[in-house]
Amino acid sequence: MGKKRIIQKTEEELLKERETVDAGVKKELKTKKTSKITEGNLYISSTYNNTIITLTNKRGETLVWKSAGSIGFKGAKKSTPFAASKVAEALCLAAEKLGIKKVSIFVKGIGSGRDSAVRSLASHGLEISSIKDITPIPHNGCRPPKPRRV
């Protein structure tokens, strides 16, 4: 199978990412000068092709989002559990800068990155108050096709 290659970011890319996170933090602090946010909701959308994690405040306004593609994974590597854990790690750093310590997690989708993302969030110091699965389930499904007439 060959060696596994992990995309290493250069220092310039890391500085750019840090600046964008800081800009988001400053924007949020301008809108909320009186109170600092300590709680939030975390939405994990895991598909067969990608893992997207969104951090919102309690009202549902998006603060930060990360995906496996935005981190630097390409192709089939985006849907792996390793990529999902790296996305969760990057989001934990952003949440730390925002001052968020307690989150409620909402998991949606059927991809392979669901569990590893939740485990990674827990191991990086976020206090998890609840985990809820909001994957849509069809109750009756679509109407089946008519039988073939040959």
Categorize the per-residue pLDDT at 51 as very low, low, confident or very high, splitting at 50, 70 and 90.
Answer: very high
Categorize the per-residue pLDDT at 31 as very low, low, confident or very high, splitting at 50, 70 and 90.
Answer: low
Q: Could you give the C-alpha distances from 76 to 13, 17, 41, 65, in angstroms and in order? A: 23, 24, 28, 21
Model pLDDT, residue 25: 57
* Domain ranges across the chain: 38-133
pTM passes above 0.75: no
| 38-133 topology per CATH | Nucleotidyltransferase; domain 5 (3.30.420)
Please indicate whether residue 24 or residue 45 has the higher confidence score (pLDDT): 45
Residues 88-129 pLDDT 10s: 999 999 999 999 999 999 999 998 999 999 999 999 989 999
Residues 122-143 pLDDT 10s: 999 899 999 999 999 888 888 8
At 108, list the tokens: 């949606």
SS3 letters across 16-45: HHHHHHHHHHHHHHHHCCCCCCCEEEEEEE
Which residue, among 94, 111, 131, has the nearest Cα to 52 in the 3D structure? Answer: 111
CA-angle at 79, arms to 76 and 84, nearest 5°: 135
